[in-house]
Amino acid sequence: QVQLVESGGGLVQAGGSLRLSCAASGRTASSYGMGWLRQAPGKEREFVSGISRGGGRTYYADSVQGRFTISRDNAKNTVYLQMNSLKPEDTAVYFCAADRDYCFGTTCSYEYWGQGTQVTVSS
C-alpha cells in the first residue's frame, strides 16, 4: 500500500496559479499510475489529469486542457499538478490517487487516495 499526501492548495484569485504536490511513501511512486481528481461542493468527484508511471504519457479532462500540467519526479516519489489560469469553477478539494494496475486515465480504479488539498479560486 502507498500513502499519498497532497499539498500546495490555497486561496487564489481567478487567473492565478497554484502548484499541487503529491508525496508518496510506503511504495515508490513509479509502481503506480497516478492521477489528480477533484470534488467541488455539491458536485461529484471528477477526473482532472493522469500520468503514466514513467511520466511519458499524460491525460487531461477537457475542462483543464491547456491550463493544467501534470508531471512526476519518481526520484522524489512526487507527482505535481501545475494549475494556471485558474477559474472559480476550479474550486474544489483536489485528490491525488494511485492505480496499482498502472492505469492513469479517467476510468482507472485508483485504489489509493490522499486526503486532499483545498483549492479555492475567487472571482
Q: What is the pLDDT along the chain (123 residues), one digit of tens a residue?
A: 899 999 999 999 999 999 999 999 987 878 899 999 999 999 999 999 999 999 999 999 999 999 999 999 989 999 999 999 999 999 999 999 999 999 999 999 999 999 999 999 999
11-16-19 Cα angle (round to 5): 70
DSSP symbols for 65-91: TTTEEEEEEGGGTEEEEEE-S--GGG-
Residues 100 and 86: their CA atoms lie apart, in Å, by 30
How many C-beta atoms surround the C-beta of residue 41 within 10 A?
7
Total residues found in the chain within this entry: 123
Res 58: pLDDT = 97
Res 27: pLDDT = 78
Q: If we measure between CA atoms, which residue out of 106, 110, 86 comes closest to residue 98?
A: 110
